[in-house]
Homo-oligomer: A and B are copies of this chain.
């Protein structure tokens, strides 16, 4: 067809462009995670918890871009595996407060070097200025009301 009649070229469509760019960045991270028996989602959860401390599940869902039903299942196994701990909220008993355990934090520490190395490889090829520029634009896009 090659007509570009109905829509923009997919390479200039934001959703696909964002997805493809993400696949590029995630490929080596997925390799790292496979070595430590962790999924991409669990890695995101650990990072959010390390950054935010003890938070309720809805917050994790928002920050890590997961839906609550997925999170329910994932946290169940992460608790069993000792990477996170959960307790019922004290004032609001509907809430489940979650925090990272020492074991979970250790996983982050052990893989920090690899994670940084991947970031540096990308930065070396694109330049820090462009990466910063990209991150600024992405933050701005996130804030758009749709």
Contacts and interface: CB of A to CB of B under 8 A. Distances in A.
A9 B51 contact: yes
A40 B13 CA distance: 13
Interface residues of A, number: 68
Nearest to A141: B21
Interface string A58-81: 000001110000000000000000
| Copies of chain A in the complex | 2
A112 B7 contact: yes
Interface of A: 1-4, 6-29, 40, 44, 47-53, 63-65, 100, 105, 108-109, 112, 115-116, 118-119, 121-122, 125-126, 130-131, 133-135, 137-146
Given A3-B50, A25-B146, 15 more contacts: A2-B51, A6-B50, A7-B51, A10-B47, A10-B63, A14-B119, A14-B134, A15-B25, A18-B138, A19-B22, A20-B142, A23-B142, A25-B141, A121-B144, A126-B144
